[in-house]
Structure 1
Amino acid sequence: MAPVDLIGWAATLVLVVTLWRQIWKQWQADGTEAVSGWLFVGQITASLLFILYSALLKSWVFVVTNSLVLLTAVAGQILAKLKQRRNTR
């Protein structure tokens, strides 16, 4: 691995930890009104397109990064739906 790749992997780590922290914070919050479903739809769509773009460029740091971002968007969407169901009961 080239030293410059370490910068990309470090950025990946910071981004993913930040996104997971935000999902956790939203899960802990009382309401769901601050969680926009469109945020997750946009993030999922953008991530899929970035994964395709990165793969075509053979930029593996960004393939992994965007795949992890995609997973956070899917997890966030699932948790938001679960929370909405729980709060409507």
Structure 2
Amino acid sequence: MAAVDLLGWAATAILVATLWRQIWKQWHAPDSEAVSTWLFVGQISASVLFILYSIALQSWVFVVTNSLVLGTAVAGQVMARVKRNRDAS
């Protein structure tokens, strides 16, 4: 693995940790409206397109990074929906 790849993997770790922290914070927010559905819809759409673009370029760091970002967007959307349903009960 080249040193430049380590930069990409370090950036991936930081980005994913930051996104998971934001999801955690939103999950514990007292108001379910603090979680924007459109944020996650946009993130999911962009991630899918970035994955396809990264595959076309054979940029495996970005394929993995964008796949993990997509995973956080899906997890965030599921958590937001569960929280809204729980708050509505």
1: CA distance, partners of 2:83 / 2:33: 11
Partner of 1:13: 13
How many residues are aligned here?
89
Return the TM-score normalized by structure 1.
0.99
Amino acid across the alignment from 1:22: Q
Give the Å deviation of 1:6.
Answer: 0.2
Alignment RMSD: 0.4
**Correspondence 1:1-89 to 2 at 5 A:** 1-89=1-89
Q: Deviation above 4 Å: which 4+ runs of structure 1? A: none
Deviation at 1:36, TM superposition (A): 1.1
Unaligned segments of structure 2, at least 5 residues? none
Following the alignment from structure 1 to structure 2, what is the Cα–Cα distance between the partners of residues 23 and 35?
A: 9
Once the two structures are TM-superposed, the CA of residue 45 in structure 1 deviates from its matched residue by: 0.3
Question: Identity over the aligned pairs, expressed in percent?
Answer: 72
